Structure 1
């Protein structure tokens, strides 16, 4: 089993914990070592796991450790990733076993991408590093999602959508045409874009 830690003890961090446990039910892949969080005192227990310390401590690790960013704000996701320069820290792609990728050869997932439960990605898709695609979201062919994006549950991207880096799509956002969403944009929950 590979060691893995979660950055962030908030709701999304605990969801990541639950997802890793769910993955382990199918394939005993991960040994969960705890959380890293700048706002919580080391030694505190969260969801039964210890807070190891601050994010900066990851730069001192001498052995290999996998890390998942469990923070929803795209700007903070990027700041966290940029704080970590230690080559012993890896950002694996995490995919919930209930999610489906139609054509794994043509779907490119960069480091740290998380795909939560019941998502569907079809074909010819690119997803930038440390992007989080939350539960029951759909990404259709020829879409490009930038780095550090956050797609909240039940988001739907139709053919050829392009999201710049650090885009936040609220719950239930539907994008029905091949449009480009500029870097850093925040789209409110329930939005339907032509």
Structure 2
């Protein structure tokens, strides 16, 4: 029997997570949660049950996955939710490849989407999204509430901090460090460390501003 799970966030990423979860043999989505979508709205056959308040109506623990692409918004939501009522299983699409699964640690609530490849000795933080067709090399560490957009290539021994956004198609050379709350623009090639709260873009990537 499949475990029941709720998706928090009924936007585009929420719909993507719905299709991802439907491809698994583990979970069944029983509803969306969203504070800005009308209760009862049906999305691809699944209803919006309401907002955060709905969680208190369940008996015992309930499985939830967060569908927020923006890392900071995701971190704020994760901090607000009462962990006494919730559990956050990692979600892995069946076509994702965990090459050496015994050496890969997946944090609670992280998502590994279709076509992604993780090699060996890798750690993914809680609520981190590894979107479609990403590759993550050996001995890399990714913090909590990060978001790697489609097609990101992370070489070996890379460290990515908390609440980091890596844009689609970006490439990170081996042994660099991306600081907390940094943003790497889509298509960028990162050849050196990126300071916390900074924004880098280009080939090679260079800073253009700092996040707050």
| TM-score (normalised: structure 1) | 0.94
RCO higher in 1 or 2 (8 Å CA, sep ≥ 6)? 1
Alignment of 1:81-96 (within 5 A): 81-96=78-93
Q: How does 1:97-176 map to 2 (within 5 A)?
A: 97-176=94-173
- CA distance in 1: counterparts of 2:35 and 2:58, whole angstroms: 16
Distance in 1, matches of 2:41 and 2:151, equals: 33
What's the CA shift for 1:57?
2.6
1:64 shift after superposition: 2.7
Identify the residue that residue 205 of structure 2 maps to in structure 1: none
In structure 1, stretches of 5+ residues that fail to align are: none
- In structure 1, the residue matched to 2:50 is 53
User: Structure 2: how far apart are the matches of 1:61 and 1:80?
Assistant: 19
Q: TM-score of the superposition, structure 2-length normalised?
A: 0.86
Deviations 1:102-135 (A, max 9, x none): 1111111110010000110011111110000000
Question: Does the CA contact (< 8 Å) of 1:58 and 1:84 recur in 2?
Answer: no
Measured in 1, the distance between the counterparts of 2:83 and 2:97 equals 32
From the CA coordinates, give the structure whose radius of gyration is larger.
Answer: 2
Number of the residue aligned with 1:66: 63
> Deviation per CA, 1:59-113, whole angstroms, max 9, x where unpaired?
4432332111111000111111112114231100100000111111111111001
* Structure 1 stretches of 4+ moved >2 Å: 59-64
Find the aligned partners of 1:136 and 1:67 in 2 and give their Cα distance.
24
Q: CA deviation at 1:163?
A: 0.5
Secondary structure in 2 matching 1:14: helix
3-state DSSP of counterpart to 1:34 = strand
Whole-Å separation in 2 of the counterparts to 1:6 and 1:98: 21
Per the TM alignment, residue 31 of structure 1 is displaced from its structure 2 partner at its CA by: 2.4
Indicate the RMSD between aligned Cα atoms, in angstroms.
1.1
Q: Does 1:76 align with 2:77?
A: no
Provide structure 2 residue ranges, at least 5 long, that are not aligned to the other structure.
Answer: 192-212
SS of the equivalent of 1:17 reads helix
Higher deviation after alignment, 100-109 or 133-142: 100-109
Tell whether the 8 Å contact from 2:21 to 2:28 is kept in structure 1 after alignment: no
Partner SS state of residue 66, structure 1: strand
